[in-house]
């Protein structure tokens, strides 16, 4: 029997949004490098709001998923939607877990004492579970940070990304714009209550399987993802010249601004983060989606940044674990350690690009032919 492609007709990419995702991903790597020297104190972080990139990713995901699939449900079942999302995301989840396992035993020492006590079979078990994105409880921790994915910390956000995709497919895709707006408003109130009225004054967290961290994770997920979905449906985009560069500067400014207020004025920083997530991030996406690429150089930059954005996000943290252990165990200062941090930054980009070209793209192409083709 002959096989015919079952791919849905591809839609035009929002090239600028791809590029902005890459800008935010690079800032995440820089944030994690510099976070090493903060001594675990959120008030001393150098790129203090770099963690907000995750909330920006959630909003971008909601926008892109709604744009790509809202009008395709007459041609597609839920399972076909899940297959497409798994093919897009899961190969690099597996690679991130493998890279985390490769670097794991190089990180043992004073900072991560559990590593030297972890047998190989247990580490391999954690790696295989990591392939599935099933979260681990603190009882299966092999590092000491109680992460749901101890070999690849950032995978926690992919766990919540999958939850958002399931909620979209099962429930939220059926909502009218009005009903969706009601939920988005409620999620915004939840976010404001947590950040402004809560005990942290920020959205840091979401990576552990306990009541507090799961609450943070869902609080971070619900507003941006479904606000992105609503923004796509409303379609009120903003058209300005130089949209990519304007939006890039906005992202850099938002993520690099120092902590606002101190431990006695937590609400001030919480208010700032609420404004960023609820107002500024949707504004950036509206400008980015409404902008146009006018020259080949900008197009190439946006494509490259977009291509490596997901691979660099999901693979870089094994290097961060190793770097953090080296800095903390040897009491390395910022001045002495920043050179190695630059090497890490460049290495993270190189590893991500290699994974993209040698693994991710070929594997996804094979999976599409294998699982998204119908027999004629």
The pLDDT value recorded for residue 32 is: 98
The pLDDT value recorded for residue 8 is: 58
Cα–Cα distance for residue pair 124/245, rounded to 1 Å:
43
In which band, very low, low, confident or very high, does the pLDDT at 11 lie, cut at 50, 70 and 90?
low
Query: For 350-371, how does the pLDDT look when each residue is reduced to its tens digit (9 = 90+)?
Result: 999 999 999 999 999 999 999 9
Who contacts 180 (Cβ-Cβ below 8 Å, separation ≥6)?
172, 226, 229, 230, 233
Residues 30 and 345 sit within 8 Å (Cβ to Cβ)? yes
The pLDDT value recorded for residue 5 is: 47
Query: For 94-136, how does the pLDDT look when each residue is reduced to its tens digit (9 = 90+)?
Result: 999 999 999 999 999 999 999 999 999 999 999 999 999 999 9
Query: For 45-70, how does the pLDDT look when each residue is reduced to its tens digit (9 = 90+)?
Result: 999 999 999 999 999 999 999 999 99
The pLDDT value recorded for residue 100 is: 98
What value does the mean pLDDT take over residues 275-304? 95
Judge residue 255's burial from the number of C-beta atoms within 10 Å of its C-beta, 0-12 exposed, 13-18 middle, 19 or more buried.
buried
Query: For 218-264, how does the pLDDT look when each residue is reduced to its tens digit (9 = 90+)?
Result: 999 999 999 999 999 999 999 999 999 999 999 999 999 999 999 99
What value does the mean pLDDT take over residues 176-194? 98
Q: To the nearest whole number, what is the mean pLDDT of the chain? A: 95
| Closest by CA position to 99, among listed 341, 330, 312 | 312
Q: Is the pLDDT of residue 375 over 60?
A: no
Reported as type and span, the H/E element at residue 210 is: none
Q: Is the pLDDT of residue 20 over 70?
A: yes
Q: Is the pLDDT of residue 7 over 90?
A: no
In which band, very low, low, confident or very high, does the pLDDT at 9 lie, cut at 50, 70 and 90?
low
Q: Is the pLDDT of residue 26 over 60?
A: yes
Q: Is the pLDDT of residue 216 over 90?
A: yes
Cα–Cα distance for residue pair 311/139, rounded to 1 Å:
29
Query: For 78-95, how does the pLDDT look when each residue is reduced to its tens digit (9 = 90+)?
Result: 999 999 999 999 999 999
In which band, very low, low, confident or very high, does the pLDDT at 294 lie, cut at 50, 70 and 90?
confident
What is the reported pTM? 0.95
């Amino acid at each position: 029997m002959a096989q015919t492609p079952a791919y849905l007709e591809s839609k035009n990419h929002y090239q600028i949004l791809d590029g902005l995702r890459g800008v935010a991903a690079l800032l995440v790597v820089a944030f994690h490098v510099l976070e090493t020297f903060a001594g675990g104190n959120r008030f001393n972080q150098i790129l203090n709001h770099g963690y907000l990139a995750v909330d920006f990713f959630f909003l971008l995901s909601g926008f892109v998923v709604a744009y790509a699939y809202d009008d395709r449900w007459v041609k597609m079942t839920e399972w076909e939607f899940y297959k497409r999302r798994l093919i897009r995301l899961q190969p690099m989840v597996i690679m991130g877990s493998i890279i985390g396992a490769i670097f794991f035993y190089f990180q043992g020492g004073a900072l991560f004492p559990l590593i030297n006590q972890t047998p190989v079979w247990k580490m391999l078990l954690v790696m295989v579970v990591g392939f599935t994105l099933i979260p681990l409880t603190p009882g299966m921790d092999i590092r000491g940070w109680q992460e749901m994915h101890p070999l690849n910390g950032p995978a926690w956000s992919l766990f919540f990304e999958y939850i958002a995709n399931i909620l979209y497919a099962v429930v939220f895709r059926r909502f009218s714009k009005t009903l969706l707006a009601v939920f988005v408003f409620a999620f915004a109130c939840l976010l404001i209550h947590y950040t402004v009225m809560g005990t942290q004054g920020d959205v840091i967290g979401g990576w552990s399987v306990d009541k507090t961290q799961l609450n943070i994770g869902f609080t971070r997920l619900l507003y941006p993802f479904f606000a992105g979905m609503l923004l796509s449906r409303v379609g009120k985009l903003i058209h300005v010249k130089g949209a990519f560069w304007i939006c890039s500067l906005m992202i850099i400014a938002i993520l690099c601004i120092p902590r606002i207020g101190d431990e006695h004025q937590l609400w001030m920083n919480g208010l700032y983060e609420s404004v960023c997530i609820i107002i500024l991030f949707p504004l950036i996406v509206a400008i980015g989606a409404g902008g146009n690429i006018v020259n080949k150089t900008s197009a190439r930059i946006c494509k490259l940044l977009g291509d490596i954005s997901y691979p660099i996000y999901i693979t870089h943290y094994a290097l961060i674990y190793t770097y953090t252990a080296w800095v903390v165990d040897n009491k390395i200062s910022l001045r002495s350690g920043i050179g190695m941090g630059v090497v890490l930054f460049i290495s993270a980009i190189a590893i991500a690009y290699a994974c993209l070209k040698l693994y991710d793209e070929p594997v996804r192409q094979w999976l599409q032919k294998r699982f998204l083709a119908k027999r004629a």
